[in-house]
Amino acid sequence: MPTETMTSRQRVLAALEHREPDRVPIDLGGNQTGIHKFAYQALLEHLGLREEVEIMDAVQQLARPSEAVLERFHVDTRYIAAGAAGGWKGGIVAARRDGRLWHDLVDEFGVRWSMPDDQPYYMDITHHPLANATLDDVRAYAFPRGDDPGRFAGLRQRAWELRHQTPYAVVSGISGVVYEICWYLRGLERWFVDMLEQPEFCEALLDRTLQFWLDWFRAFLDEVGDLVDVIMIGDDLAGQKGPLFRPEFYRRVVKPRQKRLVESIRSRTRAKIWYHTCGACAGYIPDLLDNGIDILNPVQISAAGMEPARLKAEFGDRLVFWGGAIDAQHVLPSASPEEIRRHVRQNLAVWKPGGGYVFNNVHNIQAAVPPENVVALYDAAFEYGFYPT
């Protein structure tokens, strides 16, 4: 086995600058490419580790991997995230509806997320506060304050310790969700109708969410803009076969607002900007590059037009791919560990040349993925990730 010659941070930065590091950087533990609590519990038992499972993302029911797990899998990233506004109560409460017990969380925007007690896999939206709103209602709606100081209490100290007392790359939690919050508030079907019937409503709501994130990032980057290596933003733009909504609407209405956010972020930090969208998003990659995006996640290689060889050949010199390690829908949950290793080796052979790649699963490791497959996934990343190719 070759030996490592770089620190984790050096390794990640080399890959992000399209240089070949000593080995492919490895990521696990974010709230876009993390691990479900049930898969994590099974993994702990498989590894013989005794620890409490901490939930880091209530909506997706993602576990926060411990240092023991991160070190076992040679993970090169560590995450830093702001909190909620100082006056927000938060918390999950139990409620009984329609003969079932639910666990409800009302977020800062007033959206209610719910998980049934008898199927505790993740939360879905059960209340859209602007479902029946008018344009005037949108303008008057009480948005949370993006730059509330309570969000950032202690943040700089935590980021400073990661940057100066550990060897890892420092990555922000997901933020900058300009588009998706709109349909969370409105409801997906109603929002899609709005795009056709009253685009001015959509623009007004997008302007409200954009301003929230402009305020949020101003305060966040004033605190840690000099300490973070990667800033995560994102909105899902595509499904399995193509765009979720008309590309014309995206380019005319959504894209300019996303670009304004990216420009604001770039004015305050030298960190690379990471954009999350699931699905068959290849047609949007030129738009993302035009907006100033450096990194694409999660690279859903099972979606239409998302073949690794095609993406690497067409965009590999301009875009970093973060994810795309294996078909997470059809291979990772059901293949044998040896098949997992083979798929990882094949994909790494495509992604590795010239740098520009960070290893991770395609989105979250789901609840039923066997622990043996998780181990095979990450052990293969380490074994086959060393350069030269």
Give the C-alpha distances (Å, rounded to integers) separating 334 from 120, 306, 323.
22, 21, 19
Instruction: Evaluate if residue 29 carries a pLDDT over 90.
Output: no
In a domain, 389, yes or no: no
CB-CB neighbours of 39 under 10 Å: 23
Mean pLDDT of the chain: 97
Q: Flag whether 84 is in a domain.
A: yes
- Is pLDDT above 70 for 340? yes
What is the b/e burial string over 329-357, where b = at least 16 CB atoms within 10 angstroms of the residue's CB? bebbbebebeebbbbbeebbebbbeebbb
pTM: 0.97
Measure the CA–CA gap between 193 and 199, rounded to whole angstroms. 9
Is the link from the previous residue into 298 a cis peptide, with omega within 30 of 0? yes
Q: Give the residue with greater pLDDT, 388 vs 63.
A: 63
Answer whether residue 389 shows pLDDT above 70: no
Strand partners, 94: 103
Q: 109-144, pLDDT tens digit by residue?
A: 999 999 999 999 999 999 999 999 999 999 999 999
Asked, for residue 2, whether it belongs to a domain, the answer is no
Residue 36: inside a domain: yes
Residue 1 lies in a domain: no
For residue range 154-210, list pLDDT tens digits in order.
999 999 999 999 999 999 999 999 999 999 999 999 999 999 999 999 999 999 999
* Sheet with 55-57, side-by-side order of all strands: 35-36, 62-63, 55-57
Domain containing 139 equals 8-384
Whether residue 3 is contained in a domain is answered as no
358: left (phi over 0), alpha (psi -120 to 50) or beta: beta
* Ramachandran category for residue 284: left, alpha or beta (phi over 0 → left; psi -120 to 50 → alpha): alpha
> Would 55 be classed as within a structural domain?
yes
The whole-number pLDDT of residue 31 equals 83
**295-312: pLDDT as tens digits:** 999 999 999 999 999 999
Structural domain total, the chain: 1
Give the CATH number for residue 223.
Answer: 3.20.20.210
pLDDT at position 69, please? 98
CB 85 within 8 A of CB 150: yes
